[in-house]
Structure 1
Amino acid sequence: MPRPTTARPTLRADAPGTPLRLATALALLGTALAGPAAAAPAVLDASACAGLATRLAPAQPGLTLQAEWIPAQAQRPPGQADGPLLAAHCRLAGRMAERTGIDGQPYHIGFELRLPADWNGRLLYQGGGGNDGVVRPAVGHQAAPGYALNRGFAVVSTDAGHQKPTADFGFDPQARVDNAYAAHDRVATLAKALVQGAYAQPAARSYFIGCSGGGRQAMMMTQRFPQHFDGVLAIAPAMRVSKGATIAAAWDTQALQAIAPKGGDGQPVLSQALSDADLARLRDGILQACDAQDGLADGLVSHPAACRFDPAALQCRGAKTEQCLSAPQVGALQRIFAGARDSQGRALYFGWPWDAGIGHPANDWRAWKLGRSPTAQADSRHVFLMQDALQGYFVTPPDRGLSLYRFDFDRDPARMDAHAWMFNTADDVALTGFKARGGKLLLAHGMADAIFSAHETVDYHQRMRAVHGAGLDDFSRLFLVPGMGHCSGGAATDSFDGLQALVDWVEDGRAPARITARGTRVFPGRSRPLCPWPQHAHYNGQGDPEDERSFSCRGD
């Protein structure tokens, strides 16, 4: 897709989707930040960057700010050994709201704002993930291909109000509030003001992209703070993470632990409940049952609505071999994919789609649900990440003794009620304020996601449809990605430019009828269309099967 224009459109107080009071407030705040005598240049350079911290910070009580000029092609984002070098930009690192929590620990809201030398007039808020607690490089890494920063976007990120990537912040009530929503509102407001102060004009358009916890933050913005963003892309949004997906993590862990073989100490080894060969056989079985229903056997289940698969078809008729699954393994898979339930059979979370990506070694399904630890000390992400969040801030009061292995599906969900509302974004399907301002919402979800079920996002979109009818297509669309794991990766065409699709929709009125997605590690050179749900990509019967132009979006 084409690169966004580098023109700097002016935000008028009466521009569509811009509330008059917000535009006026931003204009006044930008004037204060710029100072009465020093107007910032429209294009930043090293000299202008050097003075931003001393010029902008005094207008914000309690704000500390540091500025660093990064020349063009001089470095990659921290932690990236390869990939694109960064365009010339000014990096602002800041903190605000410093305090001491009731747990005696120091807290502040940390953030990073990167301002490109060649600005396109837009701001991108980069969502976080996990337990947050770290300020990730604000480069817009989810704007594939490359980085949003290199395409001219100013980009901001935050640690969500605490400074450790663990759930220990849950012992401080204010930190819970900051993590859930308050820090993001403050950072979005400040980022807009700093952008205006740096460039002497406000951002003409503002966007949000986030996956997982960042996807939850994206949805939270459409609901609690609809005034902030013109376009939002929420990928695998953790809409029920605090009372839903975390329960499912306990359910799945217990189901797999129950069939895991015992190690030398007599304790079950979670990682060995399903071997790599078992997962490969599961993948083969799903492909045999469902692959060709989209008109082409290509290693992708692109028509999930037509997929009918039961792992019982893979059950061994005799002794267990690598070519079949044992009866306990089949039972555990059926239990997991049906979804978590209490003893009365009431659903506690959604089931999971039978997508072939779950059995591919490039996918993260094993990492989330099984891990690879050779001992009873499990290293699955459910155990070391989801259990941490469960103990630290999803139950009230926090309980470091609560284990996924001992989670009671009748008693323990009630312990999540006190603060579930704070993190939940699944209930509001009207999005009244966001829709009224002309906001556009793109939803995307990998079908092989192991932590948040794609069925949950489909359910949300169906409930939106029940409220908005055909009008839903005017402001929200859902795209499912066959084979993709959590946020990215897997046996999939998982590289797609959702940001450009969002910009085209917001600024040019071109709603995405399909989005081109490309293979990365598993299917290099392959492209496929991502189709707005409930449509799916169907091979036309002729043309290059590796080229998305040989596929149509069909609704059957």
Structure 2
Amino acid sequence: MGNQQPFSHRLSKVSLGALLIAGASQSAYAQLSCSNVNTDTLGIPGVRVESSQPVAESASLPAHCQIRAVTAERVGQDGHDYAIQFEMNLPDQWNGSFVHQFNGGNDGEVKAATGPLLSGNTDRTALGEGYAVLSSDAGHDGSTYPEAGLAGGSRFGLDPEARLYYGYKTVETLTPIAKQIIHNFYDQEPEYSYGVGCSNGGRHAMVAASRLGDAYDGFLVGAPGFNLPKAAVQHALDVQQLSAINGDVRTSLTDEDRVLVASAVIQACDALDGLEDQMVSDIAACQATFDIDNYVCAEGQSDACIAPAKAQALKTIYAGPKDRKGNALYSDWAWDPGIAGGNWKFWKISSGIPPWDNLPLIGVMGSSSLAQIFTTPPTEIAGDPATLNQFLLDFDIANDGDMIYARRGKFHESAMSFMTPPDVDNPKLKKFNRSGGKMIIFHGVSDPVFSYLDTENWYKRLSDNYHGKADRFVKLYPVPGMNHCSGGMTTDDFNLFEQLVNWVENGEEPEAVMASHRAGAEKFSGWSETRTRKLCPYPQTAKYTGGDPESAESFTCE
């Protein structure tokens, strides 16, 4: 990793690495140019080049060579054709390093390999900074099943091998291939290798850190869905509880309701960090302080209070799903003012996007994924909104939630086996740590898709395994008010990738990180458009120490 050990030694530890080096056409290395890259000249066994073309410099991206290729082609047990489709962008002015762009959702599409560097600022990309970048569809084409409608993106879950590629095999397969392409194209190995992703992309990163610990120097991980099958069970709970309020998820919690809850959290917790600014930095103290029952409407009261049925639904949702013995099937959730954010509504209440507009996005993705990928045996499900919604309403959480751990017949691995890091319950990341790897994780405290508290508890277990010193190679940054990956009532413009690179390459350990409010982004009234805050590495929190209340300089991490 980096300057830790020779490239050939590192790559040989990765699945397929030795085969690729042995089979590659060494004589072609110094002769490749974008115009003559094809299957034969690239010379990597099992890799078929579909196109290679130069792309001119644009306002946001440098001139680069774009290679689109396919590997791991096969016919699935369900009779459909499968393959890993991927794109590599190789800049003319290469900085010598590589970024694996881990994509989100159910994958199934080759997103443009630009390497978004996460946070609410979408202008920063790895390709724009001179990195060679890889993106893939994770081993399945989401457009293969048009007859399945909205469930088509997860229909691949009926094939057991496609499940494994989605979970971990695609990253294992492509990591050595990408490095070999870089070697063949530039006649030079990448000096440093990074993985970057949010949501399911963050899950890919954490799985790679666990399974391929010596293949990457650093990971930037956002809102990691490392317990994605468990979160899918949570989505069933969400839909059941919200629908029970008035029979319609879309109108279960109005914008005014969510603002009322946010205001209640602010009233209880805002001053805990030393400043009343409609942001809650002391997360732990707020969870111990806030009780939604204190804000429920009394009999005959209707203004400035939360209706009892709505408060009860939120209490049940925030407590997380339970099995028939009362044991947690996922995680509890953090109370935070970011519940007022539009991104929270988008995922939990209503996406507002036809034909999904009568379901929250988790009702679409969560339903089809729970049915077809995360439970065993899978349930083939129709893709119309009514059917998707009904599946979640009918899902027996207490008795069937443990189907995410099941194996049966040709499905030799459970969802919790192929989707999560092998050491998820007792994280150690031994190989990654021994190899000198570094990881930065960030997570919005008001993330409506994956619980911040689940990530915090994972980090606590990692820290316990390193006697409180896990921060020597892994840092966690909670982002108050932020929703899923970005957005919410927050300051979500920050550059943690820069911090990661400085840590990996220069030994500069990250500390407090500047976060800015994006001009035009949603916010509570009274906020300055130029508000800045400090993101503090867990377990520190930002405390107000005096000065301009809109400036990060007025806070210290304690």
Shift of 1:30: 6.4
**Distance in 1 of aligned mates of 2:90 and 2:182:** 8
- The answer on 1:281 being equivalent to 2:260 is yes
**Distance in 1 of aligned mates of 2:538 and 2:363:** 33
The one-letter amino acid paired with 1:522 is: E
The correspondence for 2:401, drawn from 413, 416, 421, is 413
Who is 1:45 aligned against? Answer: none
Shift of 1:343: 3.7
Counterparts in 2 of 1:71-150, with a 5 A limit?
71-73=56-58, 85-143=60-118, 144=121, 145-150=123-128
**Distance in 2 of aligned mates of 1:377 and 1:533:** 37
**Distance in 1 of aligned mates of 2:23 and 2:501:** 30
Segments of structure 2 that go 5 or more residues without pairing to the other structure are: 144-152, 382-389, 408-413, 524-528
Percent identity, please.
Answer: 35
Shift of 1:538: 1.4
Assess if the C-alpha contact under 8 Å between 2:98 and 2:192 holds in 1: yes
Who is 1:4 aligned against? Answer: none
**Distance in 2 of aligned mates of 1:456 and 1:38:** 46
Shift of 1:32: 6.6
**Cα distance per residue 1:124-143 (max 9 Å; x no partner):** 01111111100011111135
Assess if the C-alpha contact under 8 Å between 1:269 and 1:376 holds in 2: no
The correspondence for 1:540, drawn from 538, 545, 549, is 545
**Distance in 1 of aligned mates of 2:85 and 2:303:** 50
**Distance in 2 of aligned mates of 1:146 and 1:306:** 34
**Distance in 2 of aligned mates of 1:339 and 1:408:** 14
Who is 2:173 aligned against? Answer: 186
Classify 1:29/1:183 alpha carbon distance in 2 versus 1 (closer, same or farther; 3 Å). Answer: closer
**Cα distance per residue 1:365-395 (max 9 Å; x no partner):** 1122211679998311121110110011111
The correspondence for 1:271, drawn from 237, 243, 250, is 250
CA RMSD across the alignment: 2.4
- The answer on 1:151 being equivalent to 2:129 is yes
The one-letter amino acid paired with 1:126 is: Q
Shift of 1:213: 0.7
Who is 1:70 aligned against? Answer: 55
**Cα distance per residue 1:136-170 (max 9 Å; x no partner):** 11111135551111111111111000000611001
Who is 2:359 aligned against? Answer: 379
Shift of 1:17: 5.2
Who is 1:364 aligned against? Answer: 343
Is 336-345 or 433-442 further displaced after alignment?
336-345
- SS of 2:242's partner is helix
**Cα distance per residue 1:481-540 (max 9 Å; x no partner):** 011111111111112112111111111111101222121213642221111101011121
Shift of 1:55: 5.9
- The answer on 1:36 being equivalent to 2:17 is no
Who is 2:297 aligned against? Answer: 316
**Distance in 2 of aligned mates of 1:439 and 1:375:** 44
Who is 1:3 aligned against? Answer: none
Shift of 1:51: 1.7
- SS of 2:373's partner is helix
Counterparts in 2 of 1:286-435, with a 5 A limit?
286-307=265-286, 308-319=289-300, 321=302, 323-360=304-341, 363-371=342-350, 378-400=358-380, 403-417=391-405, 418=407, 419=414, 420-425=416-421, 426-435=424-433
Classify 1:452/1:148 alpha carbon distance in 2 versus 1 (closer, same or farther; 3 Å). Answer: same
**Distance in 2 of aligned mates of 1:211 and 1:204:** 24
- SS of 2:166's partner is helix
Assess if the C-alpha contact under 8 Å between 1:63 and 1:95 holds in 2: yes
The correspondence for 1:446, drawn from 444, 447, 460, is 444
Assess if the C-alpha contact under 8 Å between 2:37 and 2:52 holds in 1: yes
Counterparts in 2 of 1:404-553, with a 5 A limit?
404-417=392-405, 418=407, 419=414, 420-425=416-421, 426-520=424-518, 521-522=521-522, 524-542=529-547, 544-553=548-557
Classify 1:16/1:385 alpha carbon distance in 2 versus 1 (closer, same or farther; 3 Å). Answer: same
Shift of 1:413: 1.9
Classify 1:227/1:499 alpha carbon distance in 2 versus 1 (closer, same or farther; 3 Å). Answer: same
**Distance in 2 of aligned mates of 1:37 and 1:98:** 24
**Distance in 2 of aligned mates of 1:259 and 1:247:** 19
Assess if the C-alpha contact under 8 Å between 2:28 and 2:41 holds in 1: no
Who is 2:385 aligned against? Answer: none
Assess if the C-alpha contact under 8 Å between 1:271 and 1:370 holds in 2: yes
Who is 1:219 aligned against? Answer: 206
**Cα distance per residue 1:37-79 (max 9 Å; x no partner):** 66158xxxxxx32123356433333422411211111xxxxxx
Shift of 1:21: 2.4
Shift of 1:342: 2.6
Assess if the C-alpha contact under 8 Å between 2:39 and 2:49 holds in 1: no
- SS of 2:339's partner is helix
**Distance in 2 of aligned mates of 1:428 and 1:193:** 33
Shift of 1:545: 2.4
**Distance in 1 of aligned mates of 2:249 and 2:11:** 55
Classify 1:91/1:20 alpha carbon distance in 2 versus 1 (closer, same or farther; 3 Å). Answer: closer
**Distance in 1 of aligned mates of 2:480 and 2:55:** 38
The one-letter amino acid paired with 2:443 is: H
**Across the two proteins, how many residue pairs are aligned to each other?**
515
- SS of 1:115's partner is strand
Shift of 1:438: 0.7
**Distance in 2 of aligned mates of 1:17 and 1:530:** 33
The one-letter amino acid paired with 1:333 is: L
**Distance in 2 of aligned mates of 1:385 and 1:312:** 32
Is 281-290 or 393-402 further displaced after alignment?
393-402
- The answer on 1:254 being equivalent to 2:240 is yes
Is 545-554 or 517-526 further displaced after alignment?
517-526
Assess if the C-alpha contact under 8 Å between 1:70 and 1:89 holds in 2: yes
Per the normalisation by structure 1, the TM-score is 0.87
Shift of 1:89: 1.1
Assess if the C-alpha contact under 8 Å between 1:97 and 1:109 holds in 2: yes
Assess if the C-alpha contact under 8 Å between 1:34 and 1:198 holds in 2: no
Assess if the C-alpha contact under 8 Å between 2:20 and 2:176 holds in 1: no
Classify 1:38/1:136 alpha carbon distance in 2 versus 1 (closer, same or farther; 3 Å). Answer: closer
The one-letter amino acid paired with 1:181 is: Y
Assess if the C-alpha contact under 8 Å between 2:292 and 2:311 holds in 1: yes
